[in-house]
Amino acid sequence: MTYFLFNMAATLCVPLLRNQGWLPLVQSVRHGSKAVTRHRKPLHILKQKLLAVTEYIPPARVVPPGVYPSQNKQVQEENGFALLLKKDLNKVFEECRMIAVVQRNASSAEDMLVLKHRLFKHGIRIKFFPNQVTRSFLINSVYSNMAPLFIGPTVLFVSKEPKVKEMLSALRASPQMTLLGACIDNTLLSAQGVVSYSKLPSMTIVQGELVSGFTMLTSRTASMLQRHPAHLSALLQQYIKQQSPDKDAEVVPKAEEAT
C-alpha cells in the first residue's frame, strides 16, 4: 500500500522534488507489522521507558485498611420485595395469636399438601418467608428473642385461634417436621412449653374452678352462721379449747428454756 502510494507520489511530484530537493512525502517506517494484532504487541522501547518512569506510586497509608469500620456501609437500601414481605409479616404478627416455628427436613410435596389440608381444616395456615427477611424484621421488633430460631429450612404455622392440640397431632403424624418454638398470645414458648400449654384446660374451665373455690369458702361461713347460734357458740368454744392447749404447751417449753 505504502509502496503504491510512494510510486504515485513519485510520478506526480517528481518534477517538484527534483527542483526543490524535498524529503519524500511517504516514508514506510515499519514495513509489514499491523496495528491490531491477536497477541500483545511489544511496546516501543521509548514508550516502555515512559510508562515505567510515570508509574503510579500510591501515598503510604498511615492506618492499614480495615482497621476502622467504614462509615458509609449502612446506606444499603432494602429490596422492594423484602419490604413487601416485611409488611406481610407485620400483618401476620398482629392478626394471629399463635405463631409456631417448625423445621422441615425435606418432606415431599404431597406430604406438605396433606399437612396443609389437615391444618387448614382447623384454621391454621402455613407460611413461608425467607430467613434473612424474618430475622431482620424480628430484630427490629419486639420479638427479637425469636430470631435465633430461624436457621435452616423453617416454616411458620400461623393461626388466629391457638389450637395447639390439633397442631401437635398433625405434627406427630409427619415425622420430618420438628417443632422448635411458638409465640402464643405474645408469649414465647419452647417445645415443651407448647406441650404443657396444650394440656392446660380452657379459660372457662379455669375461671369456673376459681369461682367455685371462692364461693365454697363463703358458702361454708354463710351456712355456719345460718345455723342455731348455740351451735355456733359451741363450735367457737371448742376452737378456743383447741387453741389454748397449744398455747399452754408453747408456754411450758419457753419457761423450761428460760430456766
Residues that bind another protein (CB under 8 A): 101, 103, 105-108, 145, 148-149, 151-153, 175-176, 178-181, 190-193
Which of 145, 238 has the CB closer to another protein? Answer: 145
Asked if residues 103 and 191 have their Cβ atoms less than 8 Å apart, the reply is no
Asked if residues 36 and 44 have their Cβ atoms less than 8 Å apart, the reply is no
Residue 60 C-beta: closest distance to another protein, Å: 39
Pairwise CA distance, residues 161 & 96, whole Å? 7
For residue 44, how many C-alpha atoms fall within 13 Å in the half-sphere facing its CB? 6
Residue 131 C-beta: closest distance to another protein, Å: 11
Which of 98, 101 has the CB closer to another protein? Answer: 101
Residue 201 C-beta: closest distance to another protein, Å: 23
Which of 103, 198 has the CB closer to another protein? Answer: 103
Classified as helix, coil or strand, 73 is helix
The residues pairing with 103 across neighbouring beta strands, listed in sequence order, are: 154, 178
Measured in Å, how far apart are the chain's first and last C-alpha atoms?
140
Question: Which phi and psi angles does 235 have, rounded to 5°?
Answer: -60, -45
Residue 178 C-beta: closest distance to another protein, Å: 4
Which of 162, 181 has the CB closer to another protein? Answer: 181
